Structure 1
Amino acid sequence: MNDKPWLEHYPVEVPITYDYPKQNLAQFLVQSAELFPEHIALDFLGKKISYKDLLDSVYRFTNALLKLGIRKGDRVAIMLPNCPQAVIAYYGTLLMGGIVVMTNPLYMPRELEYQLRDASVQMIITLDILVDRVKKATEKEPLNYILVTSVKDYLPFPKNWLYPLTTKKTSPIIYNNNMMSFLSFLKQSTSIPTQTAVDADEDLALIQYTGGTTGFAKGVMLTHCNLVANTIQSKLWFYRAQMGKERYLAALPFFHVFGMTVLLNQSVLMAGTLILMPRFDINQVLKTMDRLKPTVFPGAPTMYIAVINHPEVQKYDLSSVNICISGAASLPREVQERFESITGGKLIEGYGLTEASPVTHANNIWEKRKIGSIGIPFPDTEARIVHPDTGEEMPLGEIGELIIRGPQVMRGYWQQPEETYKALRDGWLFTGDLARMDEEGFFYILDRRKDLIIAGGYNIYPREVEEVLFEHPDVEEAVVAGVVDSYRGETVKAYIILKEGSTANEEELQRWCKDKLAVYKVPKIYEFRDSFPKTLVGKVLRRKLIEEDHDNTLK
């Protein structure tokens, strides 16, 4: 217990350890369809699909892949927003032992070309409006198959009829043996139950590419066991969740591993209903919450910021929301408190990374939690703080690199043994995040090692300065980064988005920070902006802001 003080803060309902089943990840769907065949699995803009019908489509997809000659271990890319086709292709590929490669629909041909080639992908499932981009990305190395679908394929009437009026015209698609229609692909197949045996510990379910903020993205290898374990760990943490009764608002994209685990796999394990949102639009999200009454709403801080700052938020009934877990970036205290007061639900901060399937830590939902902390490690998950250079364990309360060990930790990086060796040592995953642990076992992320600002010899953690800026009543969003300074080496710069109608200026924010921070931490430069560059999950691209600064300096 001494080296795992967090165990004292486990709710009595949460086991310290668990015997995770050695099974295909898609077995969750098979089990839920047996138990709740008529329950609604997916609600896509009004189109409702039961578990029985979803599994029927998944078996059709599995059998169609096998008929084409795609076999266990082959890679199948899915380049779709949150829609029924993404769910069908995901579980259909897993059932026949294929390896899913989730790909961002916003990728440009160059980014896509790298991933498809790196993973030796055989087939991609994508939207009709993205086919030209896929063709361009595969000019040098064509894929065996491109499977094409349209958002309207699964829209209810009359939305499916109106859909063509709202989308851009694209060049007509000529179908042949290599370019196939998703609907025909399923229709011409059989729904005979099919499942390829997998070794859950060894066989990959997923190659998930990391953001690639430093050079090209790395393919994270996640086994069936990794993803089964993390899905169950998340379920154990949400111990009040009820089988067949939860409604999950799926605004986080499934092609991001956070959305895949806490929404897609979690909802299917719990026989819940996934309310599919193809993209995050705050007006649509509020209307959907008001109408469809989701009980679980995982998200990124920017999503909750959008909710609390919406000018008409009081018009909507958001009281159905019980549980929200925030990830992908730090959650400001102000955002957490305001969101909870508006909804009456619990918003907790957690932590994870693609290399850990992704969740490793979370605050308790109903028991002791600490605002500003990422919480405590999940069941069967060990965590330590070590010296970033020597790897020696740091004294309690000291800042060092967070390392993690558990059943959810990846096998390594796809075809990159050197990168794997850097990240994995004796089963421990070196996260690259600077953190500390308090005497009760609660962990605090200070920042990515590469985001640390060193100004005049002082270490400055952007998150700490951002928290102070977020507390200012006129600040809607704030990002802090280090920019080059000829005297101090680096200096602190704040990028600010003000709330609508605000007249706050640089002098006012400077005074605010001086009252709350040591002088060397106070931002020296302020830039006011209308928006920030973000990933589709809503994570601010801090590096992009710095690069823009650098480019402007060179001009």
Structure 2
Amino acid sequence: MSTESINQWFENSFKAFACNKAVTFFRNGEMETQLTYDQLHNDINRFSNFLSARGLKKGDRVILLLEKSVINVVACVALLKIGAVVVPLNPGFKKNELNYLLKDSKAEMVIAGLDKKELIEEIYPCATFLQIPTHLPYEDLEFFRSCPQSFFNPKLSQNDPGLIIYTSGTTGNPKGAVLSHANLVCDAENVISIWDITQKDVVCHALPLFHVHGLCFALFTALLSGSHVMMLDGFTPETVQQRLSSKNPDDTCSIFMAVPAMYTRLLDFVEGKKNDFSHMRLWTSGSAPLLEKEFDRITRICGKNPVEREGMSETGMNFSNPLNGRKKPGSIGIPLPGVTVRIVNPETCEDVTPGEVGEIWLKSLSITKGYWEKPVETADTFQDGWFKTGDLGKKDQDGYYYLTDRIKHLIITGGENVSAKEVETVINQLEGVKEAAVVGIPDEKWGEKVVALVEKYPGVELSESKIKAVCKEQLHNLKCPKKIIFSDHIPKNTMGKVLKEKVKQFFHSY
């Protein structure tokens, strides 16, 4: 791993690719701003000086609560440059969510849009508040541009924290994974290396900037390798299709990173139309499981197999199918360089035999040392230096890994463990099923019973009895859903992960 901080790497990249296009920002599908690496570098330095003049210093935690925008990118890198700790949060969070996160992070500053001022001052008045009108074009933001365009970088060690990424908190309150400069450098080196990201690439960026997927895997790797980032203010199938199909020599995309839910919407939009994506070299999918039928649809419509991969807020990217080589549908691929993997029995903590399912444990320089001010949770997550992912998985004879479920999603019925994912796989294969979410709900006789929430394609005739009959053909009776409810949507978070606790709410009266 490189000995430099993420800041030094940014500095070197901005200088090496000074004349290249760095970011082109699209608002509502229309190009609004374009910056070269030199222009981006100068503005980051100005913003760093602006923040330093207001007392911000190394180690201070700063909440970024901004809509996706160029100023969001500038602010994030400027904060890292100062040595501050960036805490990116979803700008759509409501009062209760922000109340916990702001107080837990003990942030010294909050940088947010115009609509957040009154709320932040009500729930967290102790922090300095910097208000930025992200609805305005980037060129109209003058508040920091009178500052010098050179900045003296403070000395940082690789162990200094750079980001705090809050986990989704599906059980209990969210935890802030502290990612050091060493973690960020290791992760970026791995992603750039395995996917051959270079200055020749143009990345269509439609992901949010408050998760590691959009921030670290997509944005940081692009800027550190000199790529051109075609940044969309949000995901819409129309805008993404327009960008991906463009063959303008100045902005022909080569990379698209997305979550499965984005692919589903995009493929629904483009299917049946004339599409030429032959210029695209890399389609990646992560943050949630990609259904095998969607893998096949991407291959058919986009002309290439998608590259499925796996990562976590706490660890960066851990696995990926090979860029050049066999890509197995449903597999998260093989470990990245420097990532050591064990599959263990979660009860005995001993390695399982090859091919058996167990909990995935990891060691890597990209893994957090712990959660922000949560020593008990940190201690529970590590054992003898191994990070316990909470994911159940297995490895096949070719060395490819598969996630089979989350430990917390195992359903214990009649004393037997049932994998929700196994049941979902059976239901998802049925024609007319868009997606299924399987959970366990309390049952006096069995402890828990299996139930399923199913989203159908519009106009499809599909009954509960039909699904139950297919499940009985392919699954032990204990694993078969005792109740199936149809819904026009399955609740998910912003990265497309199914919110199982919300799924359970559909069955409260059952």
Q: TM-score normalised by the shorter chain: which range applies?
A: over 0.9
What amino acid is aligned across from residue 22 of structure 2 in structure 1?
A
Which residue does the alignment assign to 1:33? 14
Which residue does the alignment assign to 2:95? 109
Whether contact under 8 Å (1:82, 1:250) holds in the other structure is no
Which residue does the alignment assign to 1:353? 312
What amino acid is aligned across from residue 130 of structure 2 in structure 1?
I
Which residue does the alignment assign to 1:228? 185
Matched, 1:414 2:398: no
Whether contact under 8 Å (2:66, 2:134) holds in the other structure is no
SS at structure 2 position matched to 1:454: strand
Matched, 1:374 2:332: yes
TM-score (norm 1): 0.86
What amino acid is aligned across from residue 150 of structure 1 in structure 2?
T
Post-superposition Cα deviations, 1:62-105, rounded to whole Å, max 9, x if no partner, equal 11111111111111111123211111011000011111011111
Aligned equivalent of 2:138, options 124, 132, 154: 154
Which residue does the alignment assign to 1:24? 5
SS at structure 2 position matched to 1:274: strand
Matched, 1:477 2:435: yes
Cα distance, 1:277 vs structure 2: 2.3
Aligned equivalent of 1:216, options 157, 173, 184: 173
Separation in structure 2 between the aligned mates of residue 470 and residue 315 of structure 1, nearest angstrom = 28
Cα distance, 1:259 vs structure 2: 1.5
What amino acid is aligned across from residue 72 of structure 2 in structure 1?
A
Which residue does the alignment assign to 1:253? 208
Whether contact under 8 Å (1:44, 1:154) holds in the other structure is no
Which residue does the alignment assign to 1:266? 221
Cα 1:328–1:461 change in 2 (3 A) is same
SS at structure 2 position matched to 1:394: coil
Runs of 4+ in 1 over 4 A off after TM superposition: none
Matched, 1:69 2:55: yes
Cα distance, 1:390 vs structure 2: 2.5
Cα 1:472–1:397 change in 2 (3 A) is same
Matched, 1:437 2:395: yes
Separation in structure 1 between the aligned mates of residue 352 and residue 238 of structure 2, nearest angstrom = 47
SS at structure 2 position matched to 1:339: helix
Whether contact under 8 Å (2:69, 2:134) holds in the other structure is no
Which residue does the alignment assign to 1:285? 240
Decide which moves more: 306-315 or 464-473.
306-315
Post-superposition Cα deviations, 1:105-130, rounded to whole Å, max 9, x if no partner, equal 11112211222222221112212233
Report the identity percentage. Answer: 32
Separation in structure 2 between the aligned mates of residue 483 and residue 316 of structure 1, nearest angstrom = 44
The alignment's C-alpha RMSD in Å is 1.9
Separation in structure 1 between the aligned mates of residue 207 and residue 59 of structure 2, nearest angstrom = 27
Cα distance, 1:134 vs structure 2: 2.6
Which residue does the alignment assign to 2:263? 304
Decide which moves more: 113-122 or 71-80.
113-122
SS at structure 2 position matched to 1:298: strand
What amino acid is aligned across from residue 114 of structure 1 in structure 2?
Y
Decide which moves more: 430-439 or 210-219.
430-439
Cα 1:151–1:312 change in 2 (3 A) is farther
Post-superposition Cα deviations, 1:385-422, rounded to whole Å, max 9, x if no partner, equal 11212212222222221100011110101111111111
What amino acid is aligned across from residue 198 of structure 1 in structure 2?
L
SS at structure 2 position matched to 1:361: strand
Whether contact under 8 Å (2:437, 2:503) holds in the other structure is no
Separation in structure 1 between the aligned mates of residue 431 and residue 278 of structure 2, nearest angstrom = 25
Which residue does the alignment assign to 1:135? 121
Separation in structure 2 between the aligned mates of residue 391 and residue 441 of structure 1, nearest angstrom = 21
Separation in structure 2 between the aligned mates of residue 509 and residue 294 of structure 1, nearest angstrom = 41
Whether contact under 8 Å (2:177, 2:313) holds in the other structure is yes
Separation in structure 2 between the aligned mates of residue 317 and residue 149 of structure 1, nearest angstrom = 38
Which residue does the alignment assign to 1:8? none
Whether contact under 8 Å (1:29, 1:269) holds in the other structure is yes
Separation in structure 2 between the aligned mates of residue 524 and residue 288 of structure 1, nearest angstrom = 45
Separation in structure 1 between the aligned mates of residue 280 and residue 482 of structure 2, nearest angstrom = 40
Cα 1:346–1:197 change in 2 (3 A) is farther
Decide which moves more: 123-132 or 489-498.
123-132
Which residue does the alignment assign to 2:194? 237
Separation in structure 1 between the aligned mates of residue 440 and residue 156 of structure 2, nearest angstrom = 47
Cα distance, 1:472 vs structure 2: 2.0
Which residue does the alignment assign to 2:284? 325
Whether contact under 8 Å (1:349, 1:374) holds in the other structure is yes
Cα distance, 1:351 vs structure 2: 1.3
Cα distance, 1:316 vs structure 2: 4.2
Post-superposition Cα deviations, 1:183-220, rounded to whole Å, max 9, x if no partner, equal 343123111133111101x1000111111111211111
Whether contact under 8 Å (2:288, 2:495) holds in the other structure is no
Which residue does the alignment assign to 1:170? none
Cα 1:417–1:87 change in 2 (3 A) is same
Which residue does the alignment assign to 1:91? 77
Higher RCO (CA < 8 A, seq sep 6+): 1
Separation in structure 1 between the aligned mates of residue 454 and residue 272 of structure 2, nearest angstrom = 23
Cα 1:315–1:131 change in 2 (3 A) is farther
Decide which moves more: 505-514 or 401-410.
505-514
Whether contact under 8 Å (1:250, 1:259) holds in the other structure is yes
Cα distance, 1:362 vs structure 2: 1.2
SS at structure 1 position matched to 2:23: strand
Which residue does the alignment assign to 2:303? 344
Aligned equivalent of 1:205, options 139, 156, 162: 162
Decide which moves more: 333-342 or 468-477.
468-477
User: Any unmatched runs of 5+ in structure 1?
Assistant: 1-19, 161-182
Cα 1:401–1:32 change in 2 (3 A) is same
Post-superposition Cα deviations, 1:33-88, rounded to whole Å, max 9, x if no partner, equal 22221222111111211111111110011111111111111111111232111110
What amino acid is aligned across from residue 105 of structure 1 in structure 2?
P
Whether contact under 8 Å (1:477, 1:496) holds in the other structure is yes
Separation in structure 1 between the aligned mates of residue 278 and residue 450 of structure 2, nearest angstrom = 40
Separation in structure 2 between the aligned mates of residue 213 and residue 359 of structure 1, nearest angstrom = 21
Cα 1:408–1:84 change in 2 (3 A) is same
Post-superposition Cα deviations, 1:298-343, rounded to whole Å, max 9, x if no partner, equal 1211111222223656244444332122222211111111111101
Cα distance, 1:274 vs structure 2: 1.5
Whether contact under 8 Å (2:114, 2:131) holds in the other structure is no
Separation in structure 1 between the aligned mates of residue 418 and residue 208 of structure 2, nearest angstrom = 32
SS at structure 2 position matched to 1:537: coil
Whether contact under 8 Å (1:81, 1:279) holds in the other structure is no
Separation in structure 1 between the aligned mates of residue 14 and residue 59 of structure 2, nearest angstrom = 25
Separation in structure 2 between the aligned mates of residue 99 and residue 311 of structure 1, nearest angstrom = 41
What amino acid is aligned across from residue 211 of structure 1 in structure 2?
S
Which residue does the alignment assign to 1:335? 294
